[in-house]
């Protein structure tokens, strides 16, 4: 367990550093969007491009992994939305609760953390989850959110898909996959620039997560009852990885080609905290951003322990 904490502690400590820097005004609030833009448009795309270029195309778009991940996401969305509606929340807030229950922070946190724990072999399954959540999970939940009252789910789905296509992360993965297939090599100076930007992604992204969490929490103008927060936190940190594990074992029993290493990585990806950028989407779509921000904050804080224990229980050997 000590060896696991030695890997996970620096990652979560950087998130805490970003939170405290923003809280203490060491990092001006006006600088947070700039940090976020640097990670989203420069550092993280370069990191994902490098992993995509060095990962076999069959891993980036593995149909068994994709079916497992989307199947678990559908179950999480159904369970969370049903519970939230039964608790008296509207469809829009229920849909966003489902989104943060099913959408882990794989982009900013999961890729570097799982590669640090399990080696470069972990990149393929995690990058696949990024694509699945950007195009499927978020599109489904945003379409549900838009359908409240007026029945404009098609408009919501269209907006979600356009948003996913405007995100640089899928394009960087696709470009890396193209390089992987063609075995094309970038000129050395260009590759050095990509390497420098990619190497900066992990520390800056984690620091930015903390700053964004502080800003989202400050922007929340309502106090949300615990009954509207705790169930979603538990679904994200406990139910989601348990569903991925259960479905994965069913796939294995059915004879589908799913190796234990890939299953372990997918379970750990599901055990990650909620994606921090969902609070921005909630604000844009007029949902209860205070509730969303606090769920993300609590999943991130508690994940230091829950994710570390998940690594202990379902971890994989470094490959």
What does the pLDDT profile of the chain (319 residues) look like in tens digits?
Answer: 777 888 889 989 999 999 999 999 999 989 988 988 898 889 888 988 888 887 777 777 889 999 999 999 999 999 999 999 998 888 888 989 999 999 999 988 888 899 988 888 888 899 899 888 888 888 888 888 877 655 555 665 566 666 656 677 788 888 888 887 887 888 888 889 999 998 898 899 889 888 888 887 776 656 667 777 899 999 999 999 999 999 999 999 999 999 999 999 999 999 999 988 787 777 777 777 788 888 998 999 999 999 999 998 876 655 5
Distance CA 255, CA 243 (A): 18
Q: What is the pLDDT of residue 196?
A: 93
> What residues pair up with 274 in beta bridges, in sequence order?
104
Q: Where are the domains of the chain?
A: 2-314
The residue among 211, 217, 210 whose CA lies nearest residue 304 is 210
- Does residue 314 contact residue 268 with C-beta atoms inside 8 Å? yes
What sections of 87-152 are H helices per DSSP? Answer: 91-102, 111-118, 123-132, 138-146
- Would you say the C-alpha torsion 31, 32, 33, 37 has a positive or negative sign? positive
Q: What is the pLDDT of residue 152?
A: 57
Distance CA 97, CA 20 (A): 26
Q: What is the pLDDT of residue 164?
A: 59
Q: What is the pLDDT of residue 21?
A: 95
Q: What is the pLDDT of residue 155?
A: 62
pTM: 0.86
The residue among 130, 143, 135 whose CA lies nearest residue 95 is 143
Q: What is the pLDDT of residue 180?
A: 78
Please, what's the b/e burial string for 183-221 (b: 16 or more CB within 10 A of its CB; e: otherwise)? eeeeeeeeeeebeebbebbbbbbbbbbbbbbbbbbeebe
**In CATH, which of 1.20.1530.20, 3.30.1950.10, 3.40.190.10, 3.40.630.30 is domain 2-314?**
1.20.1530.20
> What residues pair up with 104 in beta bridges, in sequence order?
274
Count CB-CB contacts under 10 A for residue 86. 9
């Amino acid at each position: 367990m000590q060896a696991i904490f030695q890997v996970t502690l620096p990652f979560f400590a950087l998130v805490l550093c970003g939170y405290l820097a923003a809280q203490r005004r060491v990092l001006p609030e006006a600088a947070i969007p700039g940090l976020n833009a640097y990670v989203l448009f420069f550092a993280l795309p370069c990191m994902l491009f490098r992993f995509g270029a060095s990962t076999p195309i069959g891993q980036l778009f593995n149909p068994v992994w994709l079916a497992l991940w989307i199947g678990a996401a559908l179950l999480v969305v159904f369970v969370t939305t049903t519970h939230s509606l039964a608790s008296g929340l509207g469809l829009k807030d229920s849909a966003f609760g489902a989104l943060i229950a099913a959408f882990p922070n794989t982009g900013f946190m999961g890729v570097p953390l799982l590669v640090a724990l399990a080696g470069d072999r972990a990149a393929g399954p995690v990058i696949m989850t990024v694509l699945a959540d950007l195009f499927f999970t978020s599109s489904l939940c945003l379409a549900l959110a838009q359908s409240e009252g007026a029945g404009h789910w098609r408009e919501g789905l269209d907006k979600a898909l356009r948003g996913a296509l405007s995100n640089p992360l899928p394009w960087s993965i696709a470009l890396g996959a193209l390089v992987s297939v063609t075995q094309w090599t970038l000129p050395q100076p260009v590759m050095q620039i990509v390497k420098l930007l990619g190497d900066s992604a992990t520390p800056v992204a984690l620091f930015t997560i903390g700053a964004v969490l502080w800003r989202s929490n400050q922007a929340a103008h309502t106090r949300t009852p615990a009954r509207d927060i705790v169930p979603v936190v538990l679904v994200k940190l406990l139910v989601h990885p348990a569903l991925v594990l259960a479905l994965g074992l069913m796939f294995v029993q059915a004879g589908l080609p799913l190796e234990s290493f890939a299953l372990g990585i997918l379970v750990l990806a599901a055990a990650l905290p909620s994606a921090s950028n969902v609070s921005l989407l909630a604000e844009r779509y007029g949902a209860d951003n205070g509730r969303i921000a606090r769920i993300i904050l609590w999943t991130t804080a508690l994940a230091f322990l829950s994710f570390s224990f998940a690594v202990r229980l379902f971890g994989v050997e470094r490959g």
